[in-house]
Amino acid sequence: MSGLGGGQCPGESHGYNASVERVVHVPYTVEQDETGWWCAHAPLPGGGANGEGQTPEEAVADLRQALDGWFAEFGVPEELTVTVPDVA
Protein backbone atom coordinates (compact mmCIF):
# COMPACT_ATOMS: atom_id res chain seq x y z
CA MET A 1 0.00 0.00 0.00
CA SER A 2 1.43 3.36 -1.00
CA GLY A 3 0.28 5.48 1.90
CA LEU A 4 -0.69 8.29 -0.50
CA GLY A 5 -4.39 7.59 -0.26
CA GLY A 6 -6.80 7.74 -3.15
CA GLY A 7 -4.93 5.02 -5.05
CA GLN A 8 -2.96 7.45 -7.20
CA CYS A 9 0.65 6.92 -8.19
CA PRO A 10 3.17 9.65 -7.35
CA GLY A 11 3.06 12.29 -10.05
CA GLU A 12 -0.30 11.10 -11.35
CA SER A 13 -2.88 13.79 -11.89
CA HIS A 14 -5.85 14.42 -14.09
CA GLY A 15 -5.07 16.16 -17.37
CA TYR A 16 -1.39 15.14 -17.32
CA ASN A 17 -0.01 14.15 -20.71
CA ALA A 18 3.21 12.17 -20.80
CA SER A 19 5.21 11.65 -23.95
CA VAL A 20 6.68 8.24 -24.57
CA GLU A 21 9.95 7.79 -26.38
CA ARG A 22 10.86 4.56 -28.11
CA VAL A 23 14.14 3.48 -29.63
CA VAL A 24 13.83 1.72 -32.99
CA HIS A 25 16.81 -0.17 -34.36
CA VAL A 26 16.81 -0.05 -38.14
CA PRO A 27 19.27 -2.17 -40.13
CA TYR A 28 21.02 -0.31 -42.94
CA THR A 29 23.81 -0.67 -45.46
CA VAL A 30 26.44 1.84 -46.53
CA GLU A 31 28.13 1.56 -49.92
CA GLN A 32 30.27 3.78 -52.09
CA ASP A 33 28.92 4.31 -55.61
CA GLU A 34 30.91 4.61 -58.84
CA THR A 35 31.15 8.41 -58.51
CA GLY A 36 32.73 8.24 -55.04
CA TRP A 37 29.63 9.28 -53.07
CA TRP A 38 28.49 7.18 -50.13
CA CYS A 39 24.93 5.82 -50.06
CA ALA A 40 23.11 4.54 -46.97
CA HIS A 41 19.91 2.49 -47.35
CA ALA A 42 17.44 1.18 -44.76
CA PRO A 43 14.99 -1.39 -46.14
CA LEU A 44 11.49 -0.50 -44.95
CA PRO A 45 8.03 -1.20 -46.34
CA GLY A 46 7.42 0.79 -49.50
CA GLY A 47 11.05 0.86 -50.61
CA GLY A 48 12.82 2.16 -47.55
CA ALA A 49 14.81 5.27 -46.80
CA ASN A 50 18.05 6.52 -48.34
CA GLY A 51 20.82 8.93 -47.46
CA GLU A 52 23.92 10.10 -49.27
CA GLY A 53 27.07 12.04 -48.52
CA GLN A 54 30.72 12.54 -49.32
CA THR A 55 31.67 10.33 -46.35
CA PRO A 56 30.02 7.29 -44.76
CA GLU A 57 29.20 9.44 -41.70
CA GLU A 58 27.44 12.07 -43.86
CA ALA A 59 25.45 9.34 -45.62
CA VAL A 60 24.27 7.89 -42.29
CA ALA A 61 23.39 11.37 -40.96
CA ASP A 62 21.36 11.99 -44.13
CA LEU A 63 19.69 8.59 -43.70
CA ARG A 64 18.70 9.52 -40.12
CA GLN A 65 16.93 12.62 -41.45
CA ALA A 66 15.18 10.51 -44.10
CA LEU A 67 14.08 8.04 -41.41
CA ASP A 68 12.66 10.90 -39.31
CA GLY A 69 10.55 11.88 -42.32
CA TRP A 70 9.52 8.28 -43.00
CA PHE A 71 8.43 7.76 -39.38
CA ALA A 72 6.57 11.10 -39.38
CA GLU A 73 4.64 10.06 -42.49
CA PHE A 74 4.02 6.36 -41.82
CA GLY A 75 4.48 6.04 -38.06
CA VAL A 76 6.95 3.96 -36.10
CA PRO A 77 6.34 0.25 -36.60
CA GLU A 78 5.58 -1.83 -33.51
CA GLU A 79 8.04 -4.41 -34.75
CA LEU A 80 10.56 -4.08 -37.52
CA THR A 81 11.00 -7.31 -39.43
CA VAL A 82 13.14 -7.35 -42.54
CA THR A 83 13.60 -10.41 -44.75
CA VAL A 84 17.10 -10.61 -46.16
CA PRO A 85 17.76 -12.96 -49.09
CA ASP A 86 20.15 -15.79 -48.34
CA VAL A 87 23.43 -15.11 -50.10
CA ALA A 88 25.43 -18.27 -50.73
Buried/exposed 15-50: b ≥16 CB within 10 Å, e otherwise: eeeeeeeeeeebebebeeeeeeebbbbbebeeebbe
Cβ proximity of 67 and 55 under 8 Å: no
pLDDT class of 2 with cuts at 50, 70, 90: very low
In this predicted model, what pLDDT tens digit does every residue of 30-72 receive, in sequence order? 999 999 999 999 988 778 899 999 999 999 999 999 999 998 8
- Model confidence, pTM: 0.65
Q: Hey, where are the domains in the chain?
A: 29-74
